[in-house]
A and B are shown apart, each in its own frame.
Chain A
Amino acid sequence: SQQGEEDPQALSIQEGENATMNCSYKTSINNLQWYRQNSGRGLVHLILIRSNEREKHSGRLRVTLDTSKKSSSLLITASRAADTASYFCATGSNDYKLSFGAGTTVTVRA
């Protein structure tokens, strides 16, 4: 069963705009990760935020985590055509595996 749920399911923005997507989860976590998938093949790890962290940055990416609301957000600033992809959140608890959501499909229009 899926732990994380992304919102919205799909997002279309103009190049240069910011894109924000959210992830909600149900049970307590050890960490939360975001991945990008192009063309339905392998996923690329973007960023990991631990349960005791509230915000993390990596280049044009900003991730927040609110454990009281069991939610996370991923912000992509100054979007580019190359950011067109599906974005997945994945939650890790105290075992070995990550549970992935169904993803947000982002389309960046030139």
Chain B
Amino acid sequence: GAGVSQSPSNKVTEKGKDVELRCDPISGHTALYWYRQSLGQGLEFLIYFQGNSAPDKSGLPSDRFSAERTGGSVSTLTIQRTQQEDSAVYLCASSLERQTGYTFGSGTRLTVV
């Protein structure tokens, strides 16, 4: 597509429920990144995909977080048993190759109540 698309744009969920966040990167971009941004803070790296593989998952906060990417395209970030501290904006970005500018999606604002 023309840009990075994320859905949903907003998600309110009850504590303890599972959520899935979707990212559709720019066609042809092999690198895909997930970041998290809490209110008024900088970006916290979560995970990076090169193609369908994730060489580094060390940024995932806990084992409740998982992510996958299929067909070298769409990625899904899943948070199981959500907690209030998971509330944040989850940003996805893609790039044509490493060490070039990222194109970000508009993010998913997750609120856990």
Give chain A's interface residues, CB within 8 Å of chain B. 2, 30-31, 33, 35, 40-45, 48, 88, 90, 92, 95-103
Contacts and interface: CB of A to CB of B under 8 A. Distances in A.
Contacts of A90: 43
Contacts of A103: 42
A41 B107 CA distance: 6
Given A42-B106, A103-B42, A33 B89 contact: no
A44 B102 CA distance: 8
What is the interface of chain B mostly: helix, strand, loop, or mixed? Answer: strand
Contacts, number: 60
B56 A97 contact: yes
Contacts of B65: none
What is the interface of chain A mostly: helix, strand, loop, or mixed? Answer: strand
Interface of B: 4, 31, 33, 35, 37, 39, 41-43, 45, 48, 50, 55-56, 89, 91, 93, 98-107
Contacts of A40: 37, 39, 89
Contacts of B55: 96
Interface centre among A33, A35, A42 (most CB of B within 10 A): A42
Contact of B99 (A30, A100, A102): A30
A84 to B, nearest CB: 16
21 contacts: A2-B42, A30-B99, A33-B101, A33-B102, A35-B102, A35-B104, A40-B37, A41-B106, A42-B106, A43-B43, A43-B91, A45-B101, A48-B100, A95-B98, A96-B56, A96-B98, A96-B99, A98-B45, A99-B45, A100-B35, A103-B42
